[in-house]
């Protein structure tokens, strides 16, 4: 799980152009949206594309996305369960 | 200073809109144009703050002299009245003369397997493109503001439905993003207004008419993240009842880092927007301080 969290952090930094951050700067349990990393809805779409391209996971509803994208750990838990790649 | 944000809705209530649609079933649009030039626009110019942002656009953006800018503000509001009337005339079943430049660019992509993006702007009358750039193979998903009046949404629904065009309403939750992503990955076409910030979303900066302006990140980042082709589509009014559609491919190097791809796309988009608005200076409809 920790390796997957690390991998996801690197992908988030790369996809969202957060070059000023390192994986260590991102708390796996901190919220990604709002007060946490301050991501917005287009960033959420980047995360959807990461799940699709890297792990073969296609999310089907916004409600599902809201739960999954709470923080890096919740994404990792979901990827571990649902990954096809 | 006017709010930088647009409220996302057409002026007037649903009753007024329905009345206008009924009227346009029997009246020639030109009668309503002349009525609005004489009796509506002068009052708008007195009571509506849009004259100030339009004045700044012509004076500071296009560097027009005092008298030319004053005339441009009036002509700009008249043109805006015409395109609003034309939109309701379409809902009432009227048709317009349309010429398309770059149709092959659209058709080549429409015949392929991949999805692509149309970037539109608040100049001219983009809704006309939905009637002229149809595709049998692909559905066009038009991203629209969710708070638009019911009559406008009904009219769009009726007209777009006949042309294989569906709407994706921008909402507070992430629903529209799923729809946009699904449409693009399913090989369809998504149209996105790209010159106006909506809500408190993140912005990109670019020099537009010599000064730095903010543009929404969404359309440009969506294109890059899915690696799809991008066309700028502007539908400009010519004469009384004619429209000229300009389809311009916006190239970007997909091997570059993502940020550079986004910057390139934005630069290309702004360049074609500038070119178009210099050619049709009275058809600029961002009635707020664009450079704030």
Q: Which domains does chain A have, with CATH numbers?
A: 2-84 (1.10.1200.10)
Count how many residues are written for chain A. Answer: 85
Cβ pair A42:B218 closer than 8 A: yes
pLDDT tens column, A23-58: 999 999 999 887 778 888 788 888 888 898 899 998
In 3-state terms, what secondary structure has residue B106? helix
Candidate from A45, A61, A62 with C-beta closest to B225: A45
Nearest-CA distance B219 → chain A (Å): 9
The answer to whether residue A66 neighbours chain B at the CB level (below 8 Å) is yes
- For strands B116-120 and B140-145, give the pairing: unpaired
Closest chain B C-alpha to A19 CA, distance in angstroms: 11
Question: Is residue A18 within 8 angstroms of chain B, CB to CB?
Answer: no
Please answer whether residues B196 and B214 qualify as being in contact, where contact means their C-beta atoms are separated by less than 8 angstroms. Answer: no
Of B14, B26, B7, B31, the closest CA to residue B155 belongs to: B14
> Is there a contact between A42 and B175 if contact means CB atoms under 8 Å apart?
no
Say what the pLDDT of residue B175 is: 74
> What percentage of chain A's residues is helix, strand, coil (to nearest 5)?
60, 0, 40
| Every domain of chain B and the residues it spans | 14-91, 97-283
Measure CB to CB from residue B178 to each of A15, A17, A59 and give the nearest one: A59
Could you report the average pLDDT of every consecutive run of 10 residues in chain B (292 residues)? Answer: 48 75 92 95 91 95 97 97 92 90 95 95 85 81 72 66 77 76 91 82 91 92 93 95 95 93 97 97 93 83
pLDDT of residue B194: 92
Q: Is the ipTM of this complex over 0.85?
A: no
* The 3-state secondary structure of A19-30, one letter per residue: CCCCHHHCCCCC
Using a CB-CB distance cutoff of 8 angstroms, which residues of chain A are in contact with residue B201?
40-42
């Amino acid at each position: 799980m920790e390796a997957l969290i690390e991998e996801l952090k690197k992908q988030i930094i790369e996809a969202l152009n957060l070059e000023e951050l390192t994986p260590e700067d991102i708390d796996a349990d901190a919220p990604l949206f709002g007060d946490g990393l301050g991501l917005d809805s287009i960033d959420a779409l980047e995360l959807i594309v990461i799940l699709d391209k890297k792990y073969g996971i296609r999310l089907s509803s916004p409600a599902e996305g809201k739960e999954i994208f709470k923080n890096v750990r919740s994404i990792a838990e979901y990827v571990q369960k649902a990954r096809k790649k | 200073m006017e709010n930088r944000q647009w409220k996302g809705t057409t002026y007037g209530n649903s009753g007024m809109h329905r009345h206008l649609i009924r009227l346009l079933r029997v009246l020639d649009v030109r009668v309503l144009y002349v009525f609005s030039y004489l009796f509506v626009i002068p009052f708008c110019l007195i009571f509506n703050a849009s004259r100030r942002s339009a004045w700044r656009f012509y004076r500071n953006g296009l560097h027009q002299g005092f008298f030319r800018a004053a005339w441009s503000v009036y002509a700009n509001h008249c043109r805006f009245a015409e395109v609003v009337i034309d939109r309701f005339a379409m809902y009432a079943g009227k048709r317009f003369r349309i010429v398309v430049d770059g149709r092959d660019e659209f058709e080549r992509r429409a015949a392929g397997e991949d999805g692509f993006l149309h970037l539109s702007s608040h100049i001219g009358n983009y809704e006309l493109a939905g009637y002229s750039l149809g595709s049998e193979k692909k559905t066009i998903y038009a991203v629209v503001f969710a708070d638009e009046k019911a009559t406008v949404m009904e009219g769009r629904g009726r007209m777009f439905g006949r042309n294989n065009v569906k709407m994706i309403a921008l909402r507070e939750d992430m629903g529209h993003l799923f729809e946009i992503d699904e449409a693009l990955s399913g090989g369809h076409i998504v149209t996105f207004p790209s010159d106006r910030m909506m809500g408190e979303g993140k912005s990109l900066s670019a020099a537009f008419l010599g000064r730095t302006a903010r543009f929404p990140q969404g359309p440009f980042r969506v294109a890059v993240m899915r690696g799809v082709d991008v066309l700028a589509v502007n539908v400009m009014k010519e004469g009384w009842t004619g429209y000229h559609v300009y389809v311009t491919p916006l190239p970007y190097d997909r091997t570059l880092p993502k940020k550079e791809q986004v910057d390139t796309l934005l630069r290309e988009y702004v360049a074609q927007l500038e070119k178009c608005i210099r050619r049709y200076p009275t058809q600029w409809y961002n009635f707020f301080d664009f450079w704030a």
